[in-house]
């Protein structure tokens, strides 16, 4: 069995390294040429343009892992089949699953390592890349926001402002509605302007406060300045966050999604994208599983047909994954279900292919 393990690893590992590096290089070059005209128009130094592409390198490596792994597994088993070496393997009584187990274990390591690499290295460098690129291209990144809305205190405080100024940390045209413990109307505050100060609350100016007295009459009072201890939602909630989810690591993404959910803003699309990050990390295992299961199935044009079959199944996986993401984003299924069910389905398909594989 040691001979067979060395045989499959000797075929697989060189193709894996070459495939991943080749596809990563293609992605980096595509990124360079996509943005080249913008840098030329801005007279950006060549060294700075190369730096931006270098910062994209780890992300390109993440994207290249699945396709490089699939090609490596298909080429390795296709070459062994074309040289009739798989006949010796099957003739010795070794099942296909045992023969390809070493590359499946490598696939598990690639999936786990790919997630860690993305979370710890690729995402911070991608965030830095986007920042440097915007600086070089002169793109302004404003956090100001029109029609800022937030829901706080478990739905008992509702904010609506015409405009949020992040530099001054002010809300203009603010309306705050407070509900009591039974979710009934308690108070409404209309303020011309609100300013965040060091007390951790909003200082409301030019206010009208509406409330219900003991006889259920609605009364109104005016204040030049007014504070309410419940009006304490931090400015970050109202800030226009121009970052993409791809610029946040796992912890940051979870906190940001919770903030969106707490503020009553749409969050399911981001949640779906967050869960798909895990299935994307596990894709190398899935595509190597497909390539391994199809490795000994064909008798003619083994290398070409094995490669095409593996590519077809992998493409189907990406298409189904994309459709599941869209369905979960519009709320037809939960984001978790949209991420997990397709992966489990294709994992079961890979197991079925192994069960009926030539051995």
* Residues ≥6 apart with Cβ < 8 Å to 229: 201
pLDDT in tens, the chain (359 residues): 677 888 889 999 999 999 999 999 999 999 888 888 888 888 888 888 888 889 999 999 999 999 999 999 988 888 887 777 877 777 787 888 888 999 999 999 999 999 999 999 999 999 899 888 888 877 766 778 888 888 888 888 999 999 999 889 999 999 999 998 888 888 999 999 999 988 889 999 999 999 888 777 889 999 999 999 899 988 888 887 666 788 888 998 898 888 777 766 778 888 888 999 999 999 999 999 998 888 766 655 566 777 788 888 888 998 998 899 889 888 888 899 999 999 999 999 988 988 877 66
The candidate with the shortest Cα–Cα distance to 212, out of 241, 232, 182, is 182
What angle in degrees, to the nearest 10, is found between the helix axes of 268-281 and 335-355? Answer: 20
Reported pTM? 0.75
Alpha-carbon separation of residue 32 from 138, 180, 221 (angstroms): 18, 57, 61
Report the length, in residues, of the chain.
359
Q: Which tokens belong to 7?
A: 């045989």
**Which run of H or E residues covers position 120?**
none
CA 185 to CA 178: how far, in whole Å? 7
| Burial group, residue 148, by CB count within 10 angstroms (0-12, 13-18, 19+) | buried
Q: Tokens 């992966």 map to which residue?
A: 343
Task: Give the start-to-end residue ranges of the domains of the chain.
Answer: 2-138+267-355, 145-237
Q: Which tokens belong to 94?
A: 């070794």
């Amino acid at each position: 069995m040691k001979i067979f393990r060395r045989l499959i690893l000797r075929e697989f590992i060189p193709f894996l390294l070459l495939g991943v590096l080749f596809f990563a290089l293609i992605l980096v070059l595509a990124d360079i040429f996509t943005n080249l005209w913008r840098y030329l128009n801005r007279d950006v130094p060549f060294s700075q343009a190369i730096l931006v592409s270098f910062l994209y390198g780890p992300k390109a490596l993440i994207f290249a892992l699945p396709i490089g792994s699939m090609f490596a597994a298909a080429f390795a088993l296709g070459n062994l089949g074309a040289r009739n070496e798989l006949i010796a393997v099957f003739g010795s009584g070794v099942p296909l699953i045992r023969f390809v187990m070493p590359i499946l274990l490598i696939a598990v390591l690639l999936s786990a390592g790919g997630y860690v690499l993305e979370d710890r290295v690729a995402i911070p460098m991608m965030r830095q890349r986007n920042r440097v690129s915007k600086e070089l291209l002169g793109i302004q990144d404003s956090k100001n926001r029109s029609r800022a809305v937030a829901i706080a205190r478990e739905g008992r405080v509702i904010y609506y402002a015409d405009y949020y100024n992040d530099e001054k940390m002010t809300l203009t045209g603010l309306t705050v509605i407070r509900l009591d413990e039974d979710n009934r109307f308690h108070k409404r505050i209309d303020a011309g302007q609100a300013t965040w100060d060091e007390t951790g609350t909003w200082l409301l100016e030019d206010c009208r406060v509406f409330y219900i007295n003991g006889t259920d009459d609605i009364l109104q009072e005016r204040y030049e300045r007014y504070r309410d201890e419940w009006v304490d939602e931090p400015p970050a909630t109202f800030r226009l966050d121009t970052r993409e989810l791809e610029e946040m690591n796992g912890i940051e993404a979870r906190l940001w999604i919770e903030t969106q959910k707490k503020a009553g803003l749409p969050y399911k699309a981001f949640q779906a994208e967050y869960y798909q990050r895990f299935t994307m990390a596990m894709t190398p295992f899935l595509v190597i599983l497909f390539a391994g299961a199809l490795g000994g199935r064909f008798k003619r044009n083994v290398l070409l047909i094995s490669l095409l079959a593996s590519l077809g199944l992998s493409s189907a996986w990406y298409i189904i994954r994309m459709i599941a993401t869209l369905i979960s984003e519009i709320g037809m299924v939960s984001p978790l279900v949209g991420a997990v069910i397709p992966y489990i389905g294709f994992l079961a398909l890979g197991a079925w292919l192994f069960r009926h594989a030539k051995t």
